[in-house]
């Protein structure tokens, strides 16, 4: 299945791209997508455990299954004031 992943903030900066298409197995979850991102972009691996994930514009857990054509957003924590 193909999933579009949108990257934000430091994750986007470290990956050098704002979005990426991943080819994942049919039984993939958000955790599977995060693992694939870490393999493709090693510079983002350390940030992924602290990121929030939104699947088709709704925040969800890493155990959520994915479907072909889904859009996954990777949103790192932000700080400042």
Which residues are bridge partners to 7 per DSSP?
A: 74
Contact present, 75 and 9 (Cβ < 8 Å) = yes
pLDDT tens series, the chain, 81 aa = 999 999 999 999 999 999 999 999 999 999 999 999 999 999 999 999 999 999 999 999 999 999 999 999 999 987 665
The CATH number assigned to the domain with range 2-75 reads: 3.10.20.30
Q: Looking at residue 6, what is its pLDDT? A: 98
3, 20 in Cβ contact below 8 A?
no
Q: What is the distance between the alpha carbons of residues 9 and 58, in angstroms, rounded to a whole number? A: 18
What is the reported pLDDT for 78? 79
CA dist., res. 31 & res. 65, Å (int)? 9
Q: Which of helix, strand or coil describes residue 47?
A: coil
Rounded Cα–Cα distance for residues 11 and 27 (Å): 25
Q: What is the pTM of this model?
A: 0.93
């Amino acid at each position: 299945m193909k999933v579009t992943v949108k990257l934000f903030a430091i994750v986007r900066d470290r990956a050098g791209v704002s979005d990426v298409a991943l080819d994942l197995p049919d039984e993939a979850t958000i955790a599977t997508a995060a693992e694939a991102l870490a393999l493709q972009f090693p510079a983002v691996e350390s940030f992924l455990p602290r990121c929030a994930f939104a699947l088709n514009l709704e925040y969800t857990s890493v155990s959520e299954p994915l479907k072909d054509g889904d859009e996954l957003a990777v949103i790192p924590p932000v700080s400042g004031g």
